[in-house]
Every structure is written in C-alpha cells, then in structure tokens.
C-alpha cells in the first residue's frame, strides 16, 4: 500500500501510466475482500486495478515456492497483455535481510547472498524494487502519518513459514550486530562480486559455447579448464536458457550432474546433459515438452517460433517418437536423436506436417527467439 501511495503521484507528475495487480492466492477466506479493498483505494486515486487469481495449490510441496512461481507467471502475463514494461515491488530492507539470512541457512553462494536486485530483467520486463533501502517500519509510519490504512496478512505471524521464523530470529540476532542494515550492506558488497563473476562467465561462454538447434554445446576441454565456480555458473545458465526455468538448479544438483556425466547422460530440471566426443551438450528433455502445444503462429516452449504457411488447425508440439519415425532423413541432419525428439514440429491432429530440424521442412523453419549470450548478459 505504501508503494501505491508513493508511486501514483510520482508517475502522474511525469506522465507515466500506472496499473495495479493484486494476487488472490485463494488460501484464506479473507483474501478476496482484501484484494477488493486495494481495488477501492486504487479507484479513489484513478489507478486501474486487477485481481489475479491462483487456484492451483494442491496441498503438496513447498507452498511459498509454488505461490512465488505462480505470482511471476500471473504478473508477467498481466503486464504483457497491457503493454506494461516495468513491475515495481515494495520489498523493504527488512525483506532483503530476511532473504539473505534464509539463503545463508541454505548454503547459498555469492549470487544467492547478493539478495534481491534493485533492478533486473525477467520475462521481457523490468523488475524494480525501489524501497530496498527503506525499513518496513518507516513505510508503516508513512501510512499512519497520512491516515492511510493497510491489511496485515495473518500468515506473517505463522511460524510454519520459514520467512516468519527468520524474521523473529533477526530480532534476537540484532543485539549481536546481525541486523537488517548489516545484512543488506553485505548483500550489496556481494552483488559486486557476483557481477564480476557473471562477466567472467559471459566471456567464457563466448569462447566455449555454441548453439545448435536450440542446444548449448560446450567444448569439454576448455570447460574443464575453467574454475569450478564458472563451470557451475555456465552450466546453470545453459540449463535455464534451454529449459526456460526461472530458478537455477541447486549447487549440489549441479555438482552431482557434472560428477556423473564424464561419459554419459544426466537429466536435470527438464534438460538432458550429455558428455560425448569432447563436448557437453545441454538439450531439452522430451518428457518435459511432450505435453506442450501452441498455435502454429505462437511461441512454443517459451523460446521457439515457427515460420511457414500458418493455418488454424495447425499446432506446434514436440516431434517425439511418433514424429521421428515419419522423418526418414533425420540422420542426415547430424543432430542427436534426443535433440530432435524435443524439437518443435507442425502437426494437424496426429498427422505430422513439418519437422524443420529433422529434415522435413515442407516450407517451415524453426527459430529460437532468444539469444543465449544476450540471456547471460540480462540475467
């Protein structure tokens, strides 16, 4: 609510349009009324407001992690539908300190301990957090002083959530000097180191990584000569780019994967890692895409675009076993079979129309819409 009262007059004075979205996770009976309350406040200051609903929680797994991923997806879709190019969040210094402490407990490296960025690019949008240097209580006092109300989420006191436990632990650690100011200062310093490591990784990628049919192919000898931190960073970014994941694999998962594919194959986060003939290839796993379909003139799997004679009945989906059997010339492409199985193809029902990467173009081409090296720079 403080972000709303701060940004609305700021934007109006600069001719910038503002819209607000509130997400109703459907987890508390009061949530809908609270979202509608935000809508009434927005209406009073002439700001459009939308309630986005999430109803996919099945009671299994990490609730906060699932909810966070859902928020990202809902907000990106909402913003793109409205031509919005930046999303602003009211995360505070306290939120940053809690995030750093949580990541410290998980054994995070330099990137994780850098905390939340003030600004970053994600999903084709700018994500900005202009209040990371402001304490939570300062914002509450700002609201009180102006007679503006807000709603406290009761889950903020539920110690079943890790963040709540960390928040209470910080009040105990404060007298030891481990407080919000100190943790955010550490995060800022580590972000400088993270940026330097990222730049080294980008330079290494230009020298050893090539893109082939949407796969990232790394020269094994040069890869093995890199420092371990750069190896893990490059491998994680390749997996994120190929698999479209928001989050990097955990370090222990990367260590296990590298240790087990000296000559072989490993599945990780919707991707296949294959070590063969002096290379490590990161490709999309067919099992991860076999259920994904899109219209022929729409993006497929978040990064492929098909160009050809579009028609309403035509769909894009992975080539798969049924499709590759209809491409007798697939071996002449010199591409691995696993790469082709997960490659985009044009279908009309169960009839394969075209498979551009598997030697059956039929007037179609398949193009990756994002550049791997640009992805490294923006992430």
Q: What is the torsional sign of CA 224, 228, 231, 232?
A: positive
Tokens of 98: 């809690």
* Run of H or E residues at 10: helix 2-12
Domain boundary among 262, 284, 306: 284
Residue 248: give the domain boundaries. 213-284
345 in any annotated domain: yes
Query: 265 and 224 in one domain?
Result: yes
Tell me, what CATH number does 240's domain have? 3.30.465
Record the pTM: 0.79
Phi-psi region of 338 (alpha: psi -120 to 50; beta: other; left: phi over 0): alpha
Examine the domain organization and report whether 147 and 230 are in the same domain: no
Distance CA 290, CA 354 (A): 17
In a shared domain, residues 140 and 277: no
* 278 & 294 share domain: no
Same domain? For 349 and 279 the reply is no
Q: How far is CA 138 from the centre of its chain?
A: 30
Q: Is residue 375 part of a domain?
A: no
pLDDT at 149: 93
Strand order in 264-268's β-sheet?
209-212, 215-219, 279-284, 271-276, 264-268
Q: How many domains does the chain have?
A: 3
Span 252-284, pLDDT tens digits: 888 888 887 776 889 999 999 999 889 999 999
Q: How far apart are the C-alpha atoms of 99 and 93, rounded to whole Å? A: 10
* 3-class secondary-structure state, position 376: helix
Instruction: Please give the pLDDT value at position 331.
Output: 95
Residue at which a domain ends, from 264, 284, 304: 284
Closest CA to 131 of 80, 78, 184: 184
- Cα distances (angstroms) measured from residue 221 to each of 225, 231, 255, 275: 7, 12, 18, 11
CATH of the domain at 125: 3.40.50.620
374 burial level (CB within 10 Å; 0-12, 13-18, 19+): exposed
Cβ-Cβ contacts under 8 Å for 375 (sequence gap 6 or more): 237, 240, 241
Question: Which residues in the chain come in under a pLDDT of 70?
Answer: 58-62, 263, 378-379
Q: Which two tokens stand for residue 148?
A: 């503006």
Do 120 and 55 share a domain, yes or no? Answer: yes
Which long-range contacts (C-beta less than 8 Å, at least 24 apart) are formed by 51-60?
51/21, 51/22, 51/23, 51/24, 52/21, 52/22, 52/23, 52/24, 52/78, 53/23, 53/24, 53/26, 54/23, 54/24, 54/25, 54/26, 55/26, 57/25, 57/26, 57/27
In Å, the largest CA–CA distance within the chain is: 74
Domain ends where: 284, 300, 333? 284
Residue 196 lies in a domain: no
In a domain, 17, yes or no: yes
pLDDT for the residue 297:
94
Judgement on whether residues 41 and 137 belong to the same structural domain of the protein: yes
Do 302 and 336 reside in the same domain of the chain?
yes
pLDDT at 379: 65
User: Do residues 69 and 128 both lie within one domain?
Assistant: yes
Write down the pLDDT at residue 61: 64
Does some domain include residue 167?
A: no
23 and 154 co-located in one domain? yes
Cα 211–chain centre separation: 21
User: How far apart, in whole angstroms, are the C-alpha atoms of residue 139 and residue 1?
Assistant: 9
| 123 found inside a domain | yes
Asked if residue 149 belongs to a domain, the reply is yes
246 falls within a domain: yes
Listed residue (29, 122, 26) closest to 67, CA to CA: 26
> Please, what is the angle between helix 2-12 and helix 31-44, to 10°?
30
Please write the tens of the pLDDT for every residue from 43-77: 999 999 999 998 877 666 667 777 787 888 899 99
Are residue 275 and residue 306 in the same domain, yes or no? no
- Are residues 121 and 14 part of one domain? yes
């Amino acid at each position: 609510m403080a972000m709303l009262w701060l940004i609305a007059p700021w934007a109006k004075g600069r001719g910038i349009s503002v819209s607000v979205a509130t997400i109703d996770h459907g987890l508390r009976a009061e949530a809908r009324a609270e979202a509608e309350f935000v809508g009434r406040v927005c209406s009073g200051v002439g700001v459009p407001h939308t309630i986005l609903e999430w109803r996919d929680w099945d009671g299994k797994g990490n609730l906060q992690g699932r909810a966070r991923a859902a928020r990202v997806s809902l907000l990106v879709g909402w913003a793109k539908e409205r031509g919005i190019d930046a999303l602003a969040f009211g995360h505070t210094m306290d939120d940053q300190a809690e995030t750093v402490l949580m990541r410290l407990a998980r054994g995070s490296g330099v990137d994780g301990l850098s905390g939340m960025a003030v600004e970053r690019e994600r999903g084709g949008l700018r994500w900005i957090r202009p209040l990371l240097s402001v304490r939570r209580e300062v914002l509450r006092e700002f609201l009180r002083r102006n007679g503006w109300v807000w709603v406290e989420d009761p889950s903020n006191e539920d110690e079943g959530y890790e963040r709540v436990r960390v928040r209470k632990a910080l009040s105990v650690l404060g007298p030891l000097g481990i407080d919000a100011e100190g943790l955010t200062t550490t995060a800022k310093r580590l972000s400088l180191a993270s940026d330097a490591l990222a730049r080294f990784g980008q330079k290494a990628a230009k020298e050893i990584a090539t893109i082939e049919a949407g796969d990232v192919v790394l020269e094994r000898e040069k890869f093995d000569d890199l420092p371990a931190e750069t190896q893990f960073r490059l491998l994680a970014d390749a997996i994120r780019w190929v698999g479209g994941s928001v989050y990097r694999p955990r370090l222990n998962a990367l260590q296990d994967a590298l240790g087990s594919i000296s000559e072989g194959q490993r599945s990780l986060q919707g991707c296949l890692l294959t070590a063969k003939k002096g290379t490590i290839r990161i490709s999309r796993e067919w099992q991860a895409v076999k259920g994904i379909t899109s219209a022929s003139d729409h993006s497929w799997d978040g990064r492929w675009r098909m160009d050809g004679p579009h028609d309403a009945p035509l769909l894009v989906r992975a080539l798969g076993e049924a499709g590759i059997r209809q491409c007798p010339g697939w071996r002449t492409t010199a591409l691995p079979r696993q790469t082709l199985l997960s490659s985009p193809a044009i279908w009309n029902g169960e009839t394969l129309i075209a498979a551009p990467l598997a030697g059956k173009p039929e007037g179609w081409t398949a193009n990756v819409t994002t550049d791997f090296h640009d992805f490294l720079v923006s992430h």
